[in-house]
Amino acid sequence: MKGSKDNTNSGGRIVALCGGVGGAKLALGLARVLGEDLTVIVNTGDDFEHLGLHISPDIDTVLYTLSGLANRELGWGRRDESWNFMKVLQDLGSETWFQLGDRDLALHVERTRQLKAGNLLTRITGAVAARFGISAQILPVSDDPVRTTVIAEGRPLPFQRYFVEQRCAPVVERIMFDGVAEARPTAQVAAALRDPKLRAVVICPSNPFLSIDPILAVPGMRGLIEAAAVPVIAVSPIIAGKAVKGPTDKIMAELRVPATSQAIVKHYGGLLDGLVVDEADGGDAAALPVESLVTPTLMKTEEDRDRVARAVLDLAARLSARSLAEAGSE
Ligand code: GDP
C-alpha cells in the first residue's frame, strides 16, 4: 500500500480479484455485505471456444453464484439444470467431455451471438448481471483474449483440456497465458481501481496460479493496484496445508512451492499488505511479512461467506488505520 487514504469509515468501493468456485464464495459474502459497492474483476484465462460457443467459466460461476442460480450440489453450473442437449450430443457421437446443461447453454449461445455482432465481453457480462438482479459490478479483467495453457509432461494443454478432460492429472511444469502481452485491462477495470472511494483490493481464495495470475499478468494490472494506495488483502486458498477443492496444492507441489501461507504471500510478490489465514494454519501467521488475521475460512454456509467477508473488511480497516497513523506521525 503506497500513500494513505482514509479508508477506516465504512462505505467506499471494494475491488475483488476472483477466479471460479473458491473465489466466488467470498465474492458472494462481499456482495451480501457491500451490495453495489463491490466490483469483482474476473479471470478470463479459462475462457475457450467449444462447439462454436464462447464459454467464460469463471465469469459464469460468479454470475450464477451472486444471483443465487449456482448449482450447489454439483459445485458448478446452474441449478435446476437439465441435460437434453448433452444426451443428444452423445447420440450424435459428438464431443461430450465438457458438460453443458440446457439452461447454461442459453447463456453461451447468447454471449457468442453478441460477441459475433461486435459487442464486448464487458458489456455482455454487465447486461447479464443486471438481468440476473446482481447489484455488484462484474468485470472481465480484459476484453482482449487471454488463454491459459498448461505445460504438462512436456506438452502444451489448453486449460480446459487439462482441467476438465484430463482432470488435472498431468504433472504441471509451467503455466502460460497466451495473448496476455497484447491484452489490456478494460477502461471499467481501470476506473474501478482508480475510484477515489476505493477502500481495499481483495484477492479471493482462488487458485493463485490458474485464477489470479492470469488477472495480474495483464500488463498494467499490477500498476493499477499499486497506484490505488489502498490495502491489498488476500484470503489464503490453503486450509491445513491443503486446497479445499481442485488442484491448487497439487500444482504447488509440482512447481515445488510449499502449500503454506508464507508461499502464498511470496507468490504475490510484494503486492499484499495483509493475508487472511485459516485457523488451522494460524501457527505460521506470526512469521508472515504482512499483517494477518486468523479465522476459520472454510465457507460452507452463507453465514460463513458473510463472516469471512467481514474479516477481510476488518483487516482492511485495521491496515488503513495503521497507515493513516503512520502518515500522521511523519
Ligand atoms: P476454480 O476456478 O473454479 O477452480 O476456482 P478458484 O480458482 O476460484 O478456487 C479454487 C481454490 O479455492 C482452491 O485452491 C480451494 O482451496 C479454494 N477454496 C475453495 N473453497 C474454499 C473455502 O471455503 N475457503 C478457502 N479458504 N478456500 C477455498
What is the pTM assigned to this prediction? 0.95
Is 57 close to ligand 1, i.e. is its CB under 6 Å away? no
Distances (CA, A) of 154 to 33, 46, 174, 175: 45, 21, 9, 12
Question: What average pLDDT does the chain have?
Answer: 94
- At 41-90, the pLDDT tens digits run 999 999 999 999 999 999 999 999 999 999 999 989 999 999 999 999 99
For residue 87, what are the CA distances in angstroms to 82, 93, 173? 10, 10, 36
Strand partners, 151: 156, 174
Residue 200 lies in a domain: yes
Q: Does ligand 1 lie within 6 Å of residue 208's CB atom?
A: no
Q: Are 219 and 183 in contact (CB under 8 A)?
A: yes
Domain contains 1: no
Contacts of 178 (CB under 8 A, 6+ apart): 145, 146, 147, 148, 149
- Stretch 1-23: mean pLDDT, rounded? 74
d(CA 21, CA 57): 10
Tally of structural domains, the chain:
1
> How big is the chain, counted in residues?
330
- Best residue among 42, 74, 248, 277 to mutate for probing ligand 1's pocket (most ligand atoms within 8 Å of CB) is 248
Q: What is the pLDDT of residue 7?
A: 42
| Best probe residue, ligand 1, of 17, 18, 21 (max atoms within 8 Å of C-beta) | 21
* Strand, coil or helix: 63: helix
Structural domain includes residue 4:
no
On whether residue 6 sits in a domain, the answer given is: no
Residue type, 51: L
Distance CA 14, CA 316 (A): 10
Here the CATH number for the domain that contains residue 133 is 3.40.50.10680
Q: Which three cell numbers stand for residue 284?
A: 505460521
Please, is 325 exposed, middle or buried when counting C-beta atoms within 10 Å of its C-beta (0-12, 13-18, 19+)? exposed
Q: Which atom of ligand 1 is nearest to the CA of 212?
A: 7
Let me know if residue 126 belongs to a domain: yes
Residue 7 domain-assigned (yes or no): no
Nearest atom (ligand 1) to Cα of 163: 4
Q: Reply yes or no on whether the pLDDT at 302 is more than 60.
A: yes
Query: pLDDT tens digits for 171-211?
Result: 999 999 999 999 999 999 999 999 999 999 999 999 999 99
Which domain, by its residues, includes 169?
Answer: 13-329
- Confidence label for 3 from pLDDT (cuts 50, 70 and 90): very low
Q: How far is CA 250 from CA 81, 190, 241, 272, 276, in A?
A: 31, 33, 11, 23, 21
Is the CB of 299 within 6 Å of ligand 1?
A: yes
Compute the distance between CA of residue 246 and CA of residue 27 in angstroms, rounded to an integer: 18
| 2 belongs to a structural domain | no
